[in-house]
Structure 1
């Protein structure tokens, strides 16, 4: 463990987040998600909720401009409690997310830099975020 980092942020996850470039996508997926089939790179975080992991990721990953957050649209179009939690964990309101039809979401996830499968058992507990530009530290010369 390191000082100042959420303990959910493992070395493998931090290395992947660091390697991502501007606008690269990260998919955090629930336990039902076909991650093995879709992932170019896959990490497993069983026992962790998707909102909990997203909250930790957002402490080190700046989000890109819109669309910064994609949620998988539920079958009936209702925004579910887990999706409200995901929007809050990303630090955006529901007006800051895009709802994406399930098969279109799979297509987006398949092109993501990384998919992280969580232990989330609530359906539609899936989110895609895009990495923004990491600002230079104050006083850093370029």
Structure 2
């Protein structure tokens, strides 16, 4: 049994299968889920687990070479915008509709219980060497 890191077996297994360049969409409870993506749905109740908790846990386990979020997050959800900009240097902001279109290529979708708007980010996996 694991004693640290991500304990959810479905999420841990999905993360282990990711490779360089793969996309991981971390999203709030309202984001449309792209058809065909592997989904690990962590949503339990509104706000649980939070976008911040899930993102921080994922960033502790993954190598990220790029990230994209909706520019609307800055005005509609300043707390999520601050978190994204602090944790993801080089974050690219695009219109929300463009983020949804880009998300269609995500290999993995991790749905949180977040109930605040625009708490979504598309991560691009890097390599550890």
Normalising to structure 1: TM-score of the pair? 0.78
Correspondence 1:1-142 to 2 at 5 A? 2-6=2-6, 9-35=7-33, 37-46=34-43, 47-64=48-65, 68-74=66-72, 78=75, 80-88=78-86, 91-93=87-89, 96-135=90-129
Larger Rg: 1
Q: In structure 2, what is the Cα distance between the partners aligned to 1:39 and 1:115?
A: 10
Q: In structure 2, what is the Cα distance between the partners aligned to 1:102 and 1:119?
A: 19
Provide the aligned C-alpha RMSD in A.
1.9
Structure 1 residue runs without a partner (length 5+)? 136-142
Q: In structure 2, what is the Cα distance between the partners aligned to 1:87 and 1:39?
A: 29
- Cα deviation for residue 39 of structure 1 reads 4.9
Q: In structure 1, what is the Cα distance between the partners aligned to 2:35 and 2:81?
A: 22
Runs of 4+ in 1 over 3 A off after TM superposition: none
Structure 2 residue runs without a partner (length 5+)? none
Q: What number of residue pairs does the alignment pair up?
A: 124
